[in-house]
Structure 1
Amino acid sequence: MAHRLRPVDPGFLASAPVRLVFATEVAAPPGAVYRAIAEETADTPSWFAAVAAATPLDGGAAREVRLRGGVVFRERILVADPGRCYTYRVEETNAPGVAALLEEWALSPAGDGAGTRVGWTMAADGAAALRWTLRLARPGVGRSFRDAMRALERRLTASPAA
């Protein structure tokens, strides 16, 4: 890893200089969505195309995520509230210019009662070039999130083979 990041807590979600916030609904219950995001770490690349590999570490208290393109994150889980919230901070990365990075997946029942409203917030701080790049990348990151949620929905709602 290139460098360690500043440790932040969940309060950073409200105070970060850059916040990318996205939300959508998935036709699967919150428990199933939570399991896919928080517990079935190694399967993440099957539904999140930006992720090349995800490996749980420290008995599930941390994980390493490798993105397509070579960026690597070592993450520490801060909040694991099944069916509701999954929050982690990046502790080490090879991405340049990052000083602090925290992500939160917030889950709640969808309006129809059968699905899940999925909110994803990326909170970041770093060099001016990083802040500018993240703001510029917002539409692409949002598209990646929506594509991932559609793929996750297909995976979670597919009928088992007969």
Structure 2
Amino acid sequence: MARALRPVTLDFIDSAPIRMAFTTTARAAPGAVYRALAEEVTGWPRWFGAVTLARPTQGGAGREIRLRGGVRFQETIMAADPEQRYAYRVDGTNAPGVLALLEEWRLDPAGTGTRVRWTFAADGNAPFRLALTMAQAGLGLSFRQAVRSLDGLLTPQASRRGRQ
């Protein structure tokens, strides 16, 4: 890893200089979505197109993530509340300009499905902040596509019915 980031706590979700939140709904139940996020970490590349490698580290207390384009993250799991929330802090990265980063996935029942809210909380130098702000629409699209792909894996019958 190129460099360590500033360690932040869960309250950074509300106090970060850059905070982006995206929401969509999945047909899958909160328990199934949570398992895919928190318990089946190695499966992330199957449904999140930007992720090329995801593996647990530190006996499950951390993760190693690699993204398309070569960005790497070493993370610490900050919250793992079954069927409700999964959050992780980036401790180290090779991405330039970022100083602190925390991501949170909130899961709320929505009928028989799940309302999924992904919050991306960050701090960085001025070029990083500008780039992230300009990338906001792309991050939202990537998130929605990822949840749609995950939902297709978790509810394959519903996906086929929707296409007929």
Q: TM-score range by the shorter chain?
A: over 0.9
TM-score (norm 2): 0.95
2:87: which partner in 1?
87
Post-superposition offset of 1:63: 0.4
Name the structure 2 match of 1:125: 123
Instruction: Give the counterpart letter for 1:32 in structure 2.
Output: A
In the other structure, the counterpart of 1:52 is 52
Calculate the TM-score normalised by the size of structure 1: 0.96
Q: Distance in 1 between matches of 2:17 and 2:132?
A: 11
Deviation at residue 19 of structure 1 after TM alignment: 0.8
Note if 1:11 corresponds to 2:17.
no
Large movers: runs of 4+ above 4 Å: none
Cα shift at 1:59: 1.2
**Corresponding residue for 1:108?**
108
Q: CA RMSD in A?
A: 0.6
Which segments of 5 or more consecutive residues in structure 1 lack a partner in the other structure?
none
Structure-2 separation of matches of 1:56 and 1:66: 12
CA–CA separation in structure 1 for the residues paired with 2:19 and 2:38: 21
How many residue pairs end up in the alignment? Answer: 157
In 1, the alpha carbon distance for the partners of 2:143 and 2:87 equals 16
Mark the runs of 5 or more structure 2 residues left unpaired by the alignment: 158-164
